[in-house]
A and B are shown apart, each in its own frame.
Chain A
Amino acid sequence: MNSKTESRAPVSQQALRVQQPFDSSQIGAMVTIEINEKKMQVPLGTTILEACAQNQVQIPTLCHHKDLCTAGVCRICVVEVDSMKTLQAACAFPITQQIKIKTSTEKVRKARRHIIDLLLSEHYGECYTCVRNKNCELRSLASEYGVDGFTFGHPEKRKHDIDKSSFSVMRDMDKCVLCRRCVRTCIDLQEVGVLEAVGRGDQTHITTFMGKPLSEVICINCGQCVNRCPTGALYTNDPSDDIWRAIDDKKKHVVIQTAPSPRAAICEEFGMAAGTSLTGELNTALRRIGFDRVFDTNFAADLTIMEEGTELLNRLKSVVVDKDTSVKLPQFTSCSPGWVKFIEHFYPEYLDHLSTAKSPQQMFGAVTKTFYAQEYNINPEDIVTVAVMPCSAKKFECNRPEMDSSGFKDVDYGLTTRELAKMIKEGGIFLPEMPKSGFDDPFGEASGAGLIFGATGGVMEAALRTAYELVTGREVPFEKLRIEACRGFEGIKQASVKLKNCVPDYTFLEGVDLKFIVAHGTANARQVMEMLKAGELNDVHFIEIMACPGGCLGGGGQPIPTSPEIRKKRAEAIYAEDESMTIRKSHENPRIKYIYEKFLTDGPCGHKSHKLLHTHYTKRGNFIV
């Protein structure tokens, strides 16, 4: 197992890190400090903020985020340090000597209140109608730190138009507080670099290249900036009004598919702690608010495994047996629309490596408006397909012009976890109290393999469970089918499985060490691509990449806030649900067998599935189309 987890911040952002002249963890040094007259010991280099958190002292933060490098720009976290004349930003101050810290003196309280007052004086806070109403960090700070009026005024008029150009992400710069979390997310965490601070002094603002609308720059729609925005300045394009209209329209047959990650996270929108899957409750709620059918995206995930796994075996055969040099290995997964757009923009010359299989969402739409319509005798024109996804890029994906292989727009609406929670609340339902119910036929049965697509490494694990068995005739040799090498939040994971005693069809793979890589977050994806470019991955066969940190469960449509701990909880919920399933392997899903028998009769990667379940990509490079 090989991993590269060192800092990947580009040079322009490294300066904002808390740097130290040397690596203190090597010497394990401890420093004695005093926080509010209480003595304690902390490891050398701990920030004041960390030290306070470890000792139950609350420090307000705004620009600070656990996933991002230090900025120290909002100044809300200032504290008094005895040896310094000025107040120090707790988030950016590494403790390297014995200091005495005071966190709530008059000077500190005044400064914090001033800072909030100043931010409010520039923040167009239409709180009643704001998408972040009751979940806004600025609003919480104002209520927690004693702001009782607009000391320095409050804007009454908009200065900027909302950028609604993108299918996925909306930008309302009147609500921006210039914390630069989005900038650090885009540049540092995701290494896309669409957003940047421009201008000086009071002209400073966050913008795109040449101030273009978001749809005209190389945004990959991952929505990670949305997840980290403390206010309502960034939010996703909400289609719920259109969906309500479709539900209200008696002629329309509205079906909804739910992905595993929203099911594992939607509890957070209803005040529950992270880490409880509400799959059954959600099914009931969706029916009650008027959806005609509730399907399981995991069925399509199983379908994806069949198609993508077969594609991989075909590619292996072409390379190993036919020595076909036009066929490219390693094969990359293509389930993550953020990743797909990333590779289209940044590595268009490697698009041949990308699996042609559509994402589960799009496969679902395509079979719903064909197979399902046929089987149940419904006019596909009247079917409205909604996909509940943890993802903002799915909104862009379903609007791709090529996604119409059913003859109609395959998926009509991509709905995020947050937006669905809002719909459920509007429907007068308290989700955690719903009775449980199952999914509807014919796409109501799914395997645990499809379920774990939600976590980074899940697609790989699911694919291995199926591919290994197809090739060798035996189950993957791991206890309870847990392929631990695929699990966990390490940035880039590499591992291999030896294929021995292959069944007759696959003897050409006898003795092959099937090498695979799992990466999540496009910063890690970039690193993998650079390794590929440098020729370091010539012996690797299969690479799973998810655009978002943690995989889909950390997607741009998931409940806010996000943090490594929250994502860990969501992953635990997903893996626990997998183990509770009776079917754990995609190829064992009876519904999958049924669709290949009845509909996709020429098998995985056959002619029909190529038409419906596979797609092609666009070499975008620096261009939008």
Chain B
Amino acid sequence: METMQIEKTSRKGIVLFSEYVAGSAIRKAVKIGREEVLFELRDSKLKGRGGAGFPTSTKWMITAAASAPKKYIVCNADEGEPGTFKDRVLMMEHPEIVFDGMVIAGYTIGAKTGILYLRGEYYYMLEFLENHLSGMREKNLLGKNIIAKEGFDFDIQIRLGSGAYVCGEETALIESLEGHRGEPRNRPPYPVNTGFMGCPTVVNNVETLASVPHIIMKSGKWFSEYGTDKSTGSKLFSVSGDCENPGVYELPWGMTITEVLDIVGAKNTKAVQVGGASGICLSHAQFNRKLSYEDASTGGSIIVFNESRDILHILQNFMEFFVEESCGQCTPCRIGNVKLLEGVKKLRNGNYTFAEIRNLRELGQTMQVASKCGLGQSSPNAFLSILDNFSAEVFQYTSSDKHNGVNNE
């Protein structure tokens, strides 16, 4: 295996990039006990950082309450959303908080096994992460009777994905872990009841788990003071595209897009894609929207486009991505994305009718509600938001006689 030079930059941030001594939160968690850990988590109002925003404490409580001989904690490191690269930074620069978070989760819910599902493309991290786990085992932070606590057994395995975007969806991830074709399951039942190998399973994003040690050390109340009322704490944003300083930024929730654009040095910005390919595309008029679960929600991806970019070209790129990355299971997503892509191509060469586009818009709305999993439900977001927010540019290739009397906002 190629050796990689790991260059640790010393990032500073309010939560995730703040001071932390490896292992300290595990000791404190054991000291305060399971209930207290859950209470702190509840007070923190921490929500899933992968994008869906499910309250982490609820997920843990359900799993902790389940009586099952085996439970699992799975760390979702299948960071596949286009434009997201924050988990990579977390795992390379602060593996201690990610793994400590998993150990605390294992302790709290009563799991003996943690699994890190690592994106196939992150194969180069494997050795580094395995070394870190070995170090933890040496320090008795993993293995049997962790920190000399009788019966506190927990260990972490790393499994590699094979490159399917859909395996970031938690039930598809579990299918993949079990060795099957990565396809989402029917929900309910949810993984907290019936997850990996049929056992209660918590699946958390890397960043969610990385927040936990800080919450344990500094209290849930401290965490909840950052951000907005419904989006507490900080968020890692992976900013890419047309700006001077792309990269990973830890910022409190609730900042406006304009503020972020200033920080990263973006000029002449035409559009911002919030939330990756499955997110929404905002135009200038909406740059005052706040990055938060309740307003412009994102799992971390922010892609900046300046005036030189062709919005339909961007959209076509996203749609091609979904046509390929749909798992192919359910009808709305498998065929719907193909039809949306055809529509984008028609828009680009001006060869369309408004009736067709109206049909596709309605199709997009159906896909949002009728698809089996989050992939299909979010894949039309870019299409719909670009049609709404960039209508002048989207319909520039049409001659007025194509309007057919259909009103186009």
Contact indicator A202/B334 (Cβ below 8 Å): yes
Contact indicator A87/B180 (Cβ below 8 Å): no
Contact indicator B336/A118 (Cβ below 8 Å): yes
- Using Cβ atoms and an 8 Å threshold, which residues of chain B touch A224? none
Instruction: State how many residues of chain A have any CB contact under 8 Å with chain B.
Output: 44
Output the nearest chain A residue to B322 by Cβ-Cβ distance: A201
Contact indicator B363/A114 (Cβ below 8 Å): yes
Contact indicator B370/A178 (Cβ below 8 Å): no
Output the nearest chain A residue to B189 by Cβ-Cβ distance: A19
Shortest CB–CB separation between residue B140 and chain A, in angstroms?
Answer: 34
- Using Cβ atoms and an 8 Å threshold, which residues of chain A touch B175? 15
Contact indicator A19/B328 (Cβ below 8 Å): no
Secondary structure dominating the interface of A: loop
Contact indicator A87/B328 (Cβ below 8 Å): no
The answer for the CA separation of A92 and B370 in the assembled complex, in Å, is: 13
Q: Which of A4-29 contact B (CB under 8 A)?
A: 11-12, 14-16, 18-21
Could you give, for residues 162-199 of chain A, a 1 whenever the CB lies within 8 Å of some chain B CB and a 0 otherwise? 00000000000000011000000000000000000101
Contact indicator A107/B369 (Cβ below 8 Å): yes
Binds B, one of A66-74, A402-410, A476-484, A564-572: A66-74
Q: Is A143 an interface residue (CB 8 A)?
A: no
- Using Cβ atoms and an 8 Å threshold, which residues of chain B touch A18? 186
Q: Which of B182-215 contact A (CB under 8 A)?
A: 185-186, 188-189, 193-194, 198
The answer for the CA separation of A201 and B362 in the assembled complex, in Å, is: 21
Given A118-B332, A201-B334, A16-B185 contact (CB < 8 Å): yes
Output the nearest chain B residue to A85 by Cβ-Cβ distance: B369
Q: Is B178 an interface residue (CB 8 A)?
A: yes
Contact indicator B330/A73 (Cβ below 8 Å): yes
Shortest CB–CB separation between residue A322 and chain B, in angstroms?
Answer: 50
Given A73-B329, A200-B326, A87-B186 contact (CB < 8 Å): no
- Using Cβ atoms and an 8 Å threshold, which residues of chain A touch B368? 86
Contact indicator B188/A115 (Cβ below 8 Å): no
Given A15-B175, A19-B198, A114-B362, A200-B328 contact (CB < 8 Å): yes
- Using Cβ atoms and an 8 Å threshold, which residues of chain A touch B371? 75, 86
Shortest CB–CB separation between residue B293 and chain A, in angstroms?
Answer: 14
The answer for the CA separation of A18 and B327 in the assembled complex, in Å, is: 20
Shortest CB–CB separation between residue A45 and chain B, in angstroms?
Answer: 10
Q: Is A244 an interface residue (CB 8 A)?
A: no
- Using Cβ atoms and an 8 Å threshold, which residues of chain A touch B366? 110-111, 114-115
- Using Cβ atoms and an 8 Å threshold, which residues of chain A touch B323? 201-202
Contact indicator A122/B335 (Cβ below 8 Å): yes
Could you give, for residues 315-346 of chain B, a 1 whenever the CB lies within 8 Å of some chain A CB and a 0 otherwise? 00000001111111111101111110000000
- Using Cβ atoms and an 8 Å threshold, which residues of chain B touch A110? 362, 365-366
- Using Cβ atoms and an 8 Å threshold, which residues of chain A touch B326? 200-202
Contact of A75 among B174, B330, B338 (CB under 8 A): B330
- Using Cβ atoms and an 8 Å threshold, which residues of chain B touch A72? 186, 330, 372
Given A19-B194, A110-B362, A114-B363, A200-B325 contact (CB < 8 Å): yes
Contact indicator A204/B334 (Cβ below 8 Å): yes
Q: Is B134 an interface residue (CB 8 A)?
A: no
The answer for the CA separation of A204 and B185 in the assembled complex, in Å, is: 17
The answer for the CA separation of A74 and B376 in the assembled complex, in Å, is: 13
Contact indicator B370/A202 (Cβ below 8 Å): no
Scoring B178, B324, B334, B338 by chain A CB atoms within 10 A of each residue's CB, the highest score goes to B334
- Using Cβ atoms and an 8 Å threshold, which residues of chain A touch B325? 200-201
Shortest CB–CB separation between residue B25 and chain A, in angstroms?
Answer: 30
Q: Is A121 an interface residue (CB 8 A)?
A: yes
Could you give, for residues 65-77 of chain B, a 1 whenever the CB lies within 8 Å of some chain A CB and a 0 otherwise? 0100000000000
Contact indicator A118/B185 (Cβ below 8 Å): no
Contact of A121 among B166, B198, B339 (CB under 8 A): B339
Q: Is A411 an interface residue (CB 8 A)?
A: no
- Using Cβ atoms and an 8 Å threshold, which residues of chain A touch B362? 110, 114
Q: Is A78 an interface residue (CB 8 A)?
A: yes
Shortest CB–CB separation between residue A92 and chain B, in angstroms?
Answer: 4
Q: Is A208 an interface residue (CB 8 A)?
A: no
Given A11-B178, A201-B334, A78-B370 contact (CB < 8 Å): yes
- Using Cβ atoms and an 8 Å threshold, which residues of chain A touch B181? 12, 197
Contact indicator A75/B339 (Cβ below 8 Å): no
Q: Which of A111-144 contact B (CB under 8 A)?
A: 111, 114-115, 118-119, 121-122
Shortest CB–CB separation between residue B113 and chain A, in angstroms?
Answer: 18
Q: Is B377 an interface residue (CB 8 A)?
A: yes
- Using Cβ atoms and an 8 Å threshold, which residues of chain B touch A93? 186, 188
Could you give, for residues 18-60 of chain A, a 1 whenever the CB lies within 8 Å of some chain B CB and a 0 otherwise? 1111000000000000000000000000000000000000000
Q: Is B274 an interface residue (CB 8 A)?
A: no
The answer for the CA separation of A21 and B332 in the assembled complex, in Å, is: 29
Scoring B164, B174, B189, B368 by chain A CB atoms within 10 A of each residue's CB, the highest score goes to B189
Shortest CB–CB separation between residue A50 and chain B, in angstroms?
Answer: 15
Contact indicator B194/A200 (Cβ below 8 Å): no
Q: Which of B143-201 contact A (CB under 8 A)?
A: 164, 166, 171, 174-175, 178, 180-181, 185-186, 188-189, 193-194, 198
Contact indicator A74/B330 (Cβ below 8 Å): yes
- Using Cβ atoms and an 8 Å threshold, which residues of chain B touch A70? 186
Shortest CB–CB separation between residue A60 and chain B, in angstroms?
Answer: 13
Q: Is A203 an interface residue (CB 8 A)?
A: yes
Shortest CB–CB separation between residue B90 and chain A, in angstroms?
Answer: 28
Q: Which of B83-104 contact A (CB under 8 A)?
A: none
Shortest CB–CB separation between residue B142 and chain A, in angstroms?
Answer: 28
- Using Cβ atoms and an 8 Å threshold, which residues of chain B touch A111? 332, 366, 369-370
Q: Is A508 an interface residue (CB 8 A)?
A: no
Scoring A14, A111, A122 by chain B CB atoms within 10 A of each residue's CB, the highest score goes to A111
Contact of A115 among B66, B171, B370 (CB under 8 A): B370
Shortest CB–CB separation between residue B157 and chain A, in angstroms?
Answer: 19
Q: Is B359 an interface residue (CB 8 A)?
A: yes
Q: Is A594 an interface residue (CB 8 A)?
A: no
Contact of B377 among A20, A86, A152 (CB under 8 A): A86
The answer for the CA separation of A60 and B222 in the assembled complex, in Å, is: 52
- Using Cβ atoms and an 8 Å threshold, which residues of chain A touch B189? 19-21, 94
- Using Cβ atoms and an 8 Å threshold, which residues of chain B touch A12? 180-181
Contact indicator B328/A74 (Cβ below 8 Å): no
Contact indicator B339/A152 (Cβ below 8 Å): yes
Contact indicator B331/A118 (Cβ below 8 Å): yes
Could you give, for residues 478-496 of chain A, a 1 whenever the CB lies within 8 Å of some chain B CB and a 0 otherwise? 0000000000000000000
- Using Cβ atoms and an 8 Å threshold, which residues of chain A touch B198? 14, 19
Contact indicator B327/A200 (Cβ below 8 Å): yes
Given A93-B188, A94-B189, A151-B359, A202-B338 contact (CB < 8 Å): yes
- Using Cβ atoms and an 8 Å threshold, which residues of chain A touch B178? 11, 15
Output the nearest chain B residue to A96 by Cβ-Cβ distance: B188
The answer for the CA separation of A118 and B376 in the assembled complex, in Å, is: 14
Given A21-B194, A94-B189, A119-B370 contact (CB < 8 Å): no
- Using Cβ atoms and an 8 Å threshold, which residues of chain B touch A15? 171, 174-175, 178, 180, 185
The answer for the CA separation of A562 and B198 in the assembled complex, in Å, is: 31
Contact of A86 among B334, B336, B369 (CB under 8 A): B369
- Using Cβ atoms and an 8 Å threshold, which residues of chain B touch A76? 331
Q: Is A387 an interface residue (CB 8 A)?
A: no
Contact indicator A75/B359 (Cβ below 8 Å): no
Contact indicator A16/B186 (Cβ below 8 Å): yes
Shortest CB–CB separation between residue B276 and chain A, in angstroms?
Answer: 17
- Using Cβ atoms and an 8 Å threshold, which residues of chain A touch B193? 21
Shortest CB–CB separation between residue A619 and chain B, in angstroms?
Answer: 30
The answer for the CA separation of A204 and B181 in the assembled complex, in Å, is: 12
Given A89-B372, A96-B188, list of 14 further CB < 8 A pairs? A11-B180, A72-B186, A73-B372, A86-B368, A87-B369, A93-B188, A110-B366, A114-B332, A115-B366, A118-B339, A200-B326, A201-B327, A202-B323, A202-B334
List the 5 closest pairs (A to B, CB-CB), nearest first.
A204-B328, A92-B186, A21-B193, A118-B335, A111-B370
21 contacting pairs across A/B (C-beta < 8 A): A12-B180, A15-B175, A15-B178, A16-B185, A19-B189, A19-B194, A21-B193, A75-B370, A75-B372, A93-B188, A110-B366, A114-B332, A118-B331, A118-B335, A119-B335, A151-B359, A152-B359, A152-B363, A200-B326, A201-B327, A204-B327
